[in-house]
Structure 1
Amino acid sequence: MEWWLIYLLTGAFVGFFAGLLGIGGGLIIVPVLISIFTAQGFPADRVIHLALGTTMATIIFTSAASLRTHHRHHAVDWQIVKNITLGIFVGTFGGAALASSMTGQLLSIIFVIFIFYAATQMLLQFRPSPIFQLPGKIGMFLVGSIIGTLSSLVAIGGGLLSVPFLTLCNVKLQHAIGTAAAIGFPIALAGTVGYIANGYLQSETLPEHSLGYVYLPALVWLVLASMLTAPLGAKLTHSTKTAILRTIFVVLLYGLGIRMLMSLI
């Protein structure tokens, strides 16, 4: 329990920026948890799996809060959510199984690539032009499977993938963001179940108080802190300082990505 304060501070920091910028905190939480779990002496070959599983579990709570807010503002297209959810479940659960079979080094490489992609997307504030229409049910299933798989491998709520897709398919930005928030909940739910189930196969090598690949002490403190600070960040969304804070967040992402890259080299 001597690490509770670090978990608490991490959750508070991530929750604030999640509320401020409307982004998930997975890309920050995972590298921090990798460092903490390594310092705590957790099995080296399972550290990133524990970090991904624990982070995915935190997204259940943050995505539920975000979903509720967007639903109140009528920004969720529930027909899209209905059509894509089955693919999300299949892809995310499968992604967790795939992650469990990967080495820690390979997972780290995938994560580093994605963190640089996410930082660059935020830096450029990339929004694709609407040039397509939404595909049918089969197409939505396939897209959901891809989004779910990638989201599970890097422990995100999927917004960095689903918002560009929905915008590309002629969905208004406000509805794309709200719908992506709703899609984040089944991603988090299926991903968490997948990491718990696959972690049980490695239960003899995992630390005490782990539920599969979800480390419960870290989960509790991260969620408590992030739920407290997210509303504070949301209140500052329209502040003139938001652009500066976004830049700081992007720099932090690049810094974490470079740090992980250097550790791999």
Structure 2
Amino acid sequence: MAGLDISEVIELAALLIVVGGLSGFLAGLFGIGGGAILVPVFYECFRLAGVPLEVRMPLCVGTSLAVIIPTSIRSFRAHHKRGAVDMTIVKRWWLPILIGVVAGSVTARYAPERLFKIVFVAVAYSAAARLLFAREAWKFGDDLPKGLLMKAYGFLVGILSTLMGIGGGLFSNLLMTFYSRPIHQAVATSSALAVLISIPGAIGYVYAGWPAAARYPDVMALQLPFALGYISLIGALLVMPMSLFTAPLGVRAAHALSKRMLEAAFGCYLLIVGSRFVVSLASGQ
């Protein structure tokens, strides 16, 4: 990567490998696909590598979605073996989520870089507040709705997850707990939704990134060799192996924690990663 000596390249590679392990663990623990940690870390790595600000955030999001594919599949299989996944919800949501992912991919092709950060911060902070401060009385109903509202929820999960580069667990976790579903079931079901989001989402970011490659041909070729649209293949390949190894460990931890401990841990984590992009929005870096 341009502007980096060999020792800095090694440090970045080691960081991505460690982050891969952490993202896989979080994929199993929270059912989020690991994207909520990958996006901020990819952002720092690509900033150090000199990637232009205009394409940095969508590149992080696209690469995160690519990494989520194998980790979400591994996480889903582990949760499914425990019988914790509500396949009825998956069947109701698969089509609206897919439509949302397509809409998010098209938006990513034309949206300004700041939009990705604003969406990330707004959703992360909202989710953190719900998880840290909500009481049992804070709910929309005793069970998930049917019909048009349920389909609208699925569409929102798809489009917002695609713009944030996460597996959808953040939104589906919140929706399911607001409708009185246990957090452990929400986490497990979200791992299945992450599979539905990550595969078409990654393909969509390949499509969305073609104009960027045309706008910055020298920079993209020099500083991001082996990039495919808005997906850094090098970043994805460094992160994937460890994330696959640690995803089942996160599943075990999720089922060992109490409901309140899992909610509090998830809320604190979202508060931290959301704050990183508040700083970025304020500083323009």
Q: TM-score range by the shorter chain?
A: 0.7 to 0.9
Please state if 1:213 is matched with 2:230: yes
Task: Name the structure 1 match of 2:271.
Answer: 254
Task: Name the structure 2 match of 1:178.
Answer: 188
**Which residue, out of 188, 191, 195, partners 2:205?**
195
Please state if 1:147 is matched with 2:157: yes
Task: Report the AA paired with residue 198 of structure 1.
Answer: A
Task: Report the AA paired with residue 159 of structure 1.
Answer: G
Task: Name the structure 2 match of 1:99.
Answer: 108
CA deviations on 1:17-70 (whole Å, 9 max, x unpaired) are 433444432122111111110110112200001000011111111211121122
Three-state SS of the structure 1 residue aligned to 2:25 is helix
Of stretches 157-166 and 253-262 in structure 1, the one that deviates more from structure 2 is 253-262
Three-state SS of the structure 1 residue aligned to 2:84 is coil
Task: Name the structure 1 match of 2:169.
Answer: 159
CA distance in 2, matches of 1:16, 1:172: 20
Task: Name the structure 2 match of 1:112.
Answer: 121
Q: Is the 8 A contact 2:79 2:251 kept in 1?
A: no
The Cα of 1:229 is off from its aligned counterpart by 2.5
The total of aligned residue pairs comes to: 262
Q: Is the 8 A contact 1:67 1:181 kept in 2?
A: yes
Matches within 5 A, 1:1-265: 2=10, 3-124=12-133, 129=139, 130-136=141-147, 138-169=148-179, 171=181, 173-204=183-214, 205=216, 206=220, 207-237=224-254, 238=256, 243=261, 247=265, 250-251=267-268, 253-265=270-282
Q: Is the 8 A contact 1:93 1:193 kept in 2?
A: no
The Cα of 1:254 is off from its aligned counterpart by 3.1
CA distance in 2, matches of 1:77, 1:28: 25
The Cα of 1:186 is off from its aligned counterpart by 0.8
Gaps of 5+ in 1: none
Gaps of 5+ in 2: 1-8
* Inter-CA distance 235–192: structure 2 relative to 1 (3 Å threshold): same
Q: Is the 8 A contact 2:27 2:247 kept in 1?
A: yes
CA distance in 2, matches of 1:107, 1:229: 28
The Cα of 1:220 is off from its aligned counterpart by 1.0
* Inter-CA distance 192–125: structure 2 relative to 1 (3 Å threshold): farther
* Inter-CA distance 76–32: structure 2 relative to 1 (3 Å threshold): same
The Cα of 1:203 is off from its aligned counterpart by 2.2
Q: Is the 8 A contact 2:32 2:190 kept in 1?
A: no
Task: Report the AA paired with residue 168 of structure 2.
Answer: G
* Inter-CA distance 167–20: structure 2 relative to 1 (3 Å threshold): closer
* Inter-CA distance 126–9: structure 2 relative to 1 (3 Å threshold): farther
Q: Is the 8 A contact 1:85 1:141 kept in 2?
A: no
* Inter-CA distance 12–135: structure 2 relative to 1 (3 Å threshold): same
Percent identity, aligned pairs only?
A: 33
CA distance in 1, matches of 2:179, 2:118: 30
CA deviations on 1:171-224 (whole Å, 9 max, x unpaired) are 555544332221221111121111111112322323321111110111111111
CA distance in 2, matches of 1:16, 1:133: 28
Task: Report the AA paired with residue 239 of structure 2.
Answer: L
CA deviations on 1:207-246 (whole Å, 9 max, x unpaired) are 3211111101111111112122233444444269x94996
* Inter-CA distance 85–236: structure 2 relative to 1 (3 Å threshold): closer
- When normalised by structure 1's length, the TM-score is 0.85
CA deviations on 1:59-106 (whole Å, 9 max, x unpaired) are 111211121122222223333322211111110121122122111123
Three-state SS of the structure 1 residue aligned to 2:50 is coil
CA distance in 1, matches of 2:53, 2:264: 33
Q: Is the 8 A contact 2:74 2:248 kept in 1?
A: no
Q: Is the 8 A contact 2:124 2:271 kept in 1?
A: yes
- When normalised by structure 2's length, the TM-score is 0.80
